[in-house]
Amino acid sequence: MLAFTLLGTSSALATDVNLAKGATAIASSHQADYRADNSLDQVVSDDSRWLAAKGDKTPWIEITFPAPVTVEAVDVLSGWKSDTKSVLADFDLSLEIDGVWVTVKAGKIRKNTEVSRRVNLSGRKVAKLRLEVLDGGFGRVREIAVYDSNEAEGAFVEKSQAQKASSDVALDQTIHQIALNQVGYQTAASKRFTAPLSGDGVAFAITAVGRSEVLYEGEIQAHIGDFSDFRPADSDTHYVVTVKGGKLKAHQSDPFLIREAIFEEQYWQSAVDFLIDSRSVVGTSATAYGGCPWRDGVYYDAIIPALALFYSANPELVNAMPHQIDWQAEQARMLAPGFKLDRKEPSDGGALQATKDYYGMEPPLAGASDVAKLIHWGAGYYLNHPVTRDPSRDPLPGQIHPQTVEQVAYVLWAWPLLKNELPQSFYEQCRDFCFANWEGSLEVSEWWDPASYNTVEDVMGPSTRPDRRHPFKGRHAPGHSIVPNLIMHEVAQSEGRADADKYLNAAVKQAEWIIENLDWNDPRTTKGHRMSEHRTIPNLVWLLQKYPKQAPAGLQDKITEWAQIAVSRSDNLWDLRRYDMGAHWTIPSMNDLGNLIASPAIFLSASWVVEDPKLKSRLEQLSTASVDNIFGRNPRIAAAPAHPEKGFPEVERGWPKLFPNNRCARLERCRGTISSLPGSEMYPFNPKGAYRHPEGWVNYGAAWCISLGYLRFDASQTTPELLKK
């Protein structure tokens, strides 16, 4: 018998719960023991499925829920496992709402070839769901799963061999476990590892791989080994840590590098590769989940600002990268008469036309870097298709969001770098678009107010609020408009406009509001904004550094207070800034990779303005620890990329839980995708704890570029500079 296993869901979001569990099913007919209720038994198997009777020309199966539910996604697993051609090719999914059957366009599936087909259709107060097989097809359904979110991972995922190996072998509790950065460490920066089972005073030693000569020795203290003052000369040598002593068996770590420019050498190219591959329509999948320039992108993804900051941090490296984007070849492919999207996805309306319109624009100049071309793509797409809507239950309707306009402003900020790579007409279009649509960015958003925030209890379960995941989704980080307003102030000055001061005044007003209204002791105001926290602290620092005379009173104290609280929550064996000092090490329920991947930028920016040397040093240490956590210094002792073979060759063990390759944004097809990290369930050291959502996100890619940029700024003792024309 071939069967899938049902992955654990003990800590899943409510949106990941299979609503079909507990429902009842009837069908037009069935064969022998292949009854309708087999399709709801949580087992995906050829031996446990629904088969319509032979001769049934119009087979159907109908599910009745115990109580009306919200439906956003349905997974239909059909056919014979051994014969993928036996899947349901043509079928309709209908919903009974308030006693009326409704069949929406999204529920009309034709020419399906997928064994597991995700159907995104939306309905509220759904009492029943009905699947009808069309055109005389044979009724074969192995399982039906229903979710109240189109982001739900799905309960039935076949495990890869790598996953099986990881899950079958529990982490050995009889040895000195060693969690460290599997890629390596920057020579001049903090270098620490965690030994979660080892006591104080246990010895560790560092050797080169394959050599016995001890190069460095130390002792474990509070489960941490620190070898920051081990600074070997640059080489291709791989090092290992060996820990031995006490009752546990000796153990050797994964190999790692120590190099002066390890961030640039190991991470920069894959960060660019990811944003090349994840482009909507033209990337590795001709789909456009979300309808933005990048698949599963949203108005608050900050990808254009990320690319601009990334580029400005090291222009020489960016311009030395290989040129992979062939704009003219992509133009020909997109404008070919027969080109079409692979399939319909939520909120992708207009994406294909926006792409075609983009390729009607004046192209990048000859020799443009891939980063410049990506900036041109992102902003150019928005110039042609500025109205977007986040499909993940955002209460805001489709519109030109202020954060979309703010993204485009970074083209103006980076123009001194871009002017030799992009046409002047592009600058003018971006400038005019920003000035015409800026009013919303002059205000303090109602969504910054903690009164609009949900509680942990809301996000863990039912809530009466329209967006129960705010602020944890990361949509509305306080202060996101501050730097964009400073950019527009300088642009307006350079253009000789009379209204230049209103942008500066708006930035100052927004900073004043943060000083007066946000209590950093409430973690929802800080880490609770997930990856988007990089729009708060770095923006406040930018204002303080670039406009010290205009900065509001108390701004430096406010940033210092943030730093003190962040440091106070980081005194643990992982050097991890916890969400709170209670039950939540990470943000509630959701994948917390986002905040960690943004943390280097957040910590380093704060370190530039705090005056206490010890506080500054600890912030620098925490910035490095965040990178280490992403690449293996965490309770699962696994790196965040689920597919390290696609851009992270030094990683020994990627994230054990995979997301399906052909679902949602299809980011698993991209090079450089970074997927997931432990949630509170695995802390302080419970490697068998439940996993969080394992899907990567382009917002993580943006945050990673920003952090890589800030790591470079810090190493070169520079800061981002405002536009100078």
The CATH number that applies at residue 678 is 1.50.10
pLDDT digits (tens, 9 = 90+) for 513-526: 999 999 999 999 99
Structure tokens belonging to residue 10:
């003990």
Does residue 490 sit in the same domain as residue 558? yes
Residues 547 and 695 in one domain: yes
CB half-sphere exposure, 413, CA atoms < 13 A: 26
Q: Are residues 190 and 302 in the same domain?
A: no
pLDDT band at 615 (very low <50, low <70, confident <90, very high): very high
Task: Please give the backbone phi and psi of residue 242, each rounded to the nearest 5 degrees, phi first.
Answer: -115, 130
Distance CA 44, CA 144 (A): 9
Are residues 178 and 148 part of one domain? no
Residue-level pLDDT at 33: 85
Of 212, 228, 259, at which residue does a domain stop? Answer: 259
User: Does the pLDDT at position 280 exceed 60?
Assistant: yes
d(CA 267, CA 651): 12
Three-class SS state of 607: helix
- Asked if residues 149 and 222 have their Cβ atoms less than 8 Å apart, the reply is no
The answer to whether residue 13 scores a pLDDT higher than 60 is no
168 SS3 class: helix
Q: Rounded to the nearest 5 degrees, what angle is found at the Cα of 495, between the Cα atoms of 490 and 501?
A: 45
C-alpha separations of 66 from 20, 584, 657 in Å: 9, 32, 31
Q: How far apart are CA 304 and CA 286, in angstroms?
A: 21
Residues 363 and 281 in one domain: yes
Name the percent of the chain lying above pLDDT 90: 80
pLDDT tens per residue across span 288-319:
999 999 999 999 999 999 999 999 999 999 99
pLDDT band, very low/low/confident/very high, at 85 (cuts 50, 70, 90): confident
Say yes or no: 298 and 247 in one domain: no
Residue 112 lies in a domain: yes
Question: CA–CA separation, 614 vs 493, rounded Å?
Answer: 40
Which among 667, 665, 672 has a CA at the least distance from the CA of 648? Answer: 672
Residue 469 structure tokens:
């995941």
**Mean pLDDT for the chain overall:** 92
Domain CATH code at residue 101: 2.60.120.260
Q: At what angle do helices 537-546 and 555-568 cross, to 10 degrees?
A: 140
Other beta carbons within 10 angstroms of residue 485's beta carbon come to 25
172 and 50 both lie in a single domain: no
720/309 Cα distance (integer angstroms) = 7
What's 230's domain CATH number? 2.60.40.10
Which stretch of 19-28, 427-436, 529-538 has the lowest confidence by average pLDDT? Answer: 19-28
DSSP state of 179: B
Residue 9: its pLDDT value, please?
31
Instruction: Specify whether the CB–CB gap between 497 and 436 falls below 8 A.
Output: no
Residue 607's Cβ-count burial label (10 Å; 0-12, 13-18, 19+) is buried
> What count of other Cβ atoms lies within 10 Å of the Cβ of residue 265?
16
| Cα angle 618-623-627, degrees, rounded to a multiple of 5 | 140
Give the list of residues 6+ apart from residue 148 with CB closer than 8 angstroms, or none. 14, 15, 17, 19, 69, 70, 71, 72
* Cα 146 to the center of its chain, rounded Å: 24
Asked whether residue 189 carries a pLDDT value surpassing 80, the answer given is yes
| pLDDT of 11 higher than 50 | no
Rounded to an integer, what distance in angstroms lies between the CA atom of residue 36 and that of residue 155? 19
- For residue 555, being part of any structural domain is answered with yes
| pLDDT at residue 1 tops 50 | no
The neighbouring-strand residues paired with 126 are 69, 97
Joined together, the tokens standing for residue 274 give: 């990811």
Strands 184-186 and 257-259 come out as parallel
7 within some domain: no
Domain that holds residue 392: 262-454+478-715
Residue with tokens 């620890």: 625
d(CA 645, CA 649): 6
DSSP string, 239-279: EEEEEEETTEEEEE---BEEETTHHIIIIIHHHHHHHHHTB
pLDDT (tens digit per residue) in 222-246? 999 999 999 999 999 999 999 999 9
Strands (E) across 413-527 are located at: none
Closest Cα partner for 713 from 263, 387, 383? 263
Same structural domain, 501 and 566: yes
Report how far residue 370's alpha carbon sits from residue 320's, in angstroms, rounded to the nearest whole number: 10
What is the token pair recorded at 156? 């039935």
Alpha helices in 518-632 (DSSP H): 537-546, 555-568, 593-607, 613-630
595 and 611 belong to one structural domain: yes
Is position 96 within any domain?
yes
270 plus 369 within the same structural domain = yes
- The least confident of 104-108, 160-164, 434-438, 584-588 is 160-164
- What digits encode the pLDDT tens for the residues 106-129? 899 998 888 889 998 888 899 999
358 and 252 share one domain: no
Percent of the chain's residues with pLDDT above 70: 93
Instruction: State how far the alpha carbon of 53 is from the alpha carbons of 27, 34, 501, 547, in Å.
Output: 10, 9, 75, 76
- Please say whether the beta carbons of 271 and 708 come within 8 A: yes
The residue with tokens 């920051």 is: 228
Give the model's pLDDT for residue 159: 41
282 and 212, same structural domain? no
User: What is the C-alpha separation between 589 and 692, in angstroms, rounded?
Assistant: 7
The answer to whether 525 and 518 are in contact (CB under 8 A) is: yes
Residue 135 in any domain: the answer is yes
Q: Which of 158, 192, 210 is the last residue of a domain?
A: 158
| Cβ proximity of 381 and 388 under 8 Å | no
Answer for the pair 325, 276: CB distance below 8 angstroms, yes or no: yes
As a whole number of Å, the CA-based R_g of the chain is 26
Angle (nearest 5°) at CA 701 between 697 and 706: 140
Q: Are 468 and 457 in contact (CB under 8 A)?
A: no
Is pLDDT larger for residue 162 or for residue 353? Answer: 353
Q: How far is CA 570 from CA 166, 529, 584, in A?
A: 29, 17, 13
Statement: residue 202 has pLDDT above 80: yes
**In b/e form, how buried is each residue of 170-179, taking b as 16+ CB within 10 angstroms?**
ebeeebbbbb
Q: Residue 592 above 90 pLDDT?
A: no
Domain end residue (candidates: 202, 225, 259): 259
pLDDT of 324 higher than 70: yes
Q: pLDDT for 138-182, tens place per residue?
A: 899 999 999 988 777 676 644 434 343 444 334 788 999 999 999
Contact status, residue 148 vs residue 604, Cβ threshold 8 Å: no
C-alpha 301 chain-centroid distance: 9
Q: How many CB atoms lie within 10 A of CB 122?
A: 18
Confirm whether 467 is domain-assigned: no
Query: Helix, strand, or coil here: 33?
Result: coil
Spatial CA neighbour of 320 closest among 366, 369, 361: 369
Residue 463, domain member (yes or no): no
Of 535, 477, 484, 539, the residue nearest 506 (C-alpha): 484
Number of structural domains found in the chain:
3
Query: Is residue 1 assigned to a domain?
Result: no
632 within 8 A of 567, measured Cβ to Cβ = no
Nearest residue to 182 (alpha-carbon basis) of 194, 168, 165, 199? 194
Burial 77-95 (b: 16+ CB within 10 A, else e): bbbbbeeeeebbbebbbbb
